[in-house]
Amino acid sequence: MRWVTRRNAHIDRTGCPWLIRRFIDPEAEFVFVPADTNPAEIDGTPFDMRGVRLGHREGRCTFETFLEEYNLTHDAALVEMGRILREADVPHSRTRRREAAGVDALITGFQMTTPDDQEKLRLTAPLYDALYAYCRRKVAQQPTRDGRTRPTLRYRQRVEAHLSEDTAPGTPTPATDQVPER
């Protein structure tokens, strides 16, 4: 299927193609057109353009609209990812998730250094894979009373886990890299 959106892809226009290829249409073809293109004259399914069904809706970003339209809201990690992408894509809010600033900075960097949108999709796909993996871990953590997630590991445990991930199995760890027990 052919999917059409505006040129100079940023957050929704790189995140949605990742979502489409991963969960909706693995054989998707993406076409990038000038922003003033009339969506009614497009040969394909338009998204993240003014006045189209698959666009920003009721305060949600296009990624979140895709989740609803394609019945993907059962995946809590995709829902969390959508929240992060909304906060990275739309003007700043008082409750901006910390991850949103990082996503915005990275995708803006790709927007500045990679003029070819197809290449931008290729380069950003691993970032969205990583963000999805992060969101899967995040939503698997213990919820609080108000339903929001919170980290279950204390700082020391996170440091220990991080250091053990940096060492290949069976590789001796120098004593200076070990976290002392208390």
Angle between helices 11-19 and 76-89 (to 10 degrees): 160
Q: Are residues 121 and 182 in the same domain?
A: no
Sequential DSSP letters for 50-115? TT-SBS-BTTB-HHHHHHHHTT-TT-HHHHHHHHHHHHHHSSP-TT--HHHHHHHHHHHHHHHH--
Q: What's the domain count of the chain? A: 2
Q: Are residues 22 and 96 in the same domain?
A: yes
What per-residue confidence (pLDDT) applies to 173? Answer: 45
Q: Are residues 102 and 181 in the same domain?
A: no
- Are 100 and 87 a contacting pair, CB within 8 Å? yes
Q: Are residues 116 and 158 in the same domain?
A: no
Question: Taking the model in full, what pTM does it have?
Answer: 0.77
Q: Are residues 63 and 139 in the same domain?
A: yes
Cβ within 8 Å of residue 158, ≥6 positions away: 151
**Local confidence band at 113 (pLDDT 50, 70, 90 cut-offs):** very high
Q: Are residues 144 and 169 in the same domain?
A: no
Give the domain range for residue 163.
Answer: 154-182
Q: Are residues 63 and 145 in the same domain?
A: yes
| Per-residue pLDDT reduced to its tens digit, 24-34 | 999 999 999 99
